[in-house]
Amino acid sequence: MRHRKVSRRLGRTSSHRQAMLRNMVTSLFAHERIITTEAKAKELRRLADKMVSLAKKGTLHARRQALAVIRDKEVVKRLFSEIRERYVDRNGGYTRIIKYGFRRGDGAPLVVIELVTESLARKRRTRPKSEATVAPKVTEASQASISKGSSEEEKSEVKSQANEEAKEQESLQNEEVEVQAETVSEGAEAEEAEEKVEVQATSESSEKKEP
């Protein structure tokens, strides 16, 4: 039974597993991100966080402990100088795991494990102090002036509406007068034409009667 056994075997012997994790943690601190399977990344994260914690101590003993795991001295030097300064204000959570898809062939889930580069120092937003706005007191005189102004405005609006209505009525009356004049002129022209026709008819009849 695997009760109370936290670590993963990863299908390898203990020596093979330790050698693989040492190589992976060396590559992680050298390139700051690698692509691997999800199970390996979760085991690698535990070891990488321990190495960063040793680097934050900065002692000679901590450096020797890191050299016992990391295979490259230059990577250890970078870990205790550059990477250490990056995580001075951060307590844990030095790595990030991002899903990357599935591996062709066996369909194993792939992830990207990388070092966190964001700093925890957040800029505080300073809100400008809102100036206190005091509402002016409304006196009786001001209320009376407001009411007078409103009544005058209403009167002016009513007058303007009445003027517009009067103009519209005048225009309608003018149009009616013009229409009546046109009809009268047309009737007079028709009567004149009828009279001319009658005169011509009478003259023709008189000419026919004469021998």
The more confidently predicted of residues 40 and 149 is 40
In a domain, 123, yes or no: no
- Same domain for 96 and 35, yes or no, is yes
Is the pTM higher than 0.75? The answer reads no
3-class SS of residue 48:
helix
Domain stops at, among 115, 135, 161? 115
Is the pLDDT reported for residue 69 higher than 80? yes
- Same domain for 95 and 21, yes or no, is yes
In a domain, 34, yes or no: yes
- Same domain for 175 and 111, yes or no, is no
Q: Where are the beta strands (DSSP E) in the chain?
A: 33-37, 95-102, 109-115
Query: Tokens at residue 204, please?
Result: 């023709």
Number of separate domains in the chain: 2
132/110 Cα distance (integer angstroms): 58
- Same domain for 97 and 183, yes or no, is no
- Same domain for 111 and 154, yes or no, is no
- Same domain for 103 and 155, yes or no, is no
pLDDT for position 142:
59
Query: Tokens at residue 113, please?
Result: 């494990």
In a domain, 171, yes or no: yes
208/210 Cα distance (integer angstroms): 6
From residue 209, how far is each of 196, 198, 204 by CA, in Å?
20, 17, 9
- Same domain for 108 and 157, yes or no, is no
In a domain, 91, yes or no: yes
Average of per-residue pLDDT across 159-180:
77
- Same domain for 24 and 101, yes or no, is yes
Average of per-residue pLDDT across 169-195:
70
Q: What is the CATH number of the domain that holds 75?
A: 3.90.1030.10
25/43 Cα distance (integer angstroms): 10
Alpha helical stretches, state H, 68-127: 73-78, 84-86
- Same domain for 20 and 97, yes or no, is yes
86/119 Cα distance (integer angstroms): 8
- Same domain for 106 and 158, yes or no, is no
In a domain, 131, yes or no: no
- Same domain for 107 and 200, yes or no, is no
At 133-148, the pLDDT tens digits run: 555 555 565 566 555 5
Other C-beta atoms closer than 10 Å to the C-beta of 137 total 6
Q: Is residue 45 a contact partner of residue 95, using CB atoms and an 8 Å limit?
A: yes
28/112 Cα distance (integer angstroms): 11
In a domain, 145, yes or no: no
In a domain, 87, yes or no: yes
Is the pLDDT reported for residue 61 higher than 50? yes
Range of the domain at 187: 150-211
In a domain, 135, yes or no: no
- Same domain for 109 and 156, yes or no, is no
Is the pLDDT reported for residue 125 higher than 70? no
Domain stops at, among 115, 141, 169? 115
From residue 8, how far is each of 2, 85, 111, 114 by CA, in Å?
10, 31, 17, 20
Domain stops at, among 115, 142, 168? 115
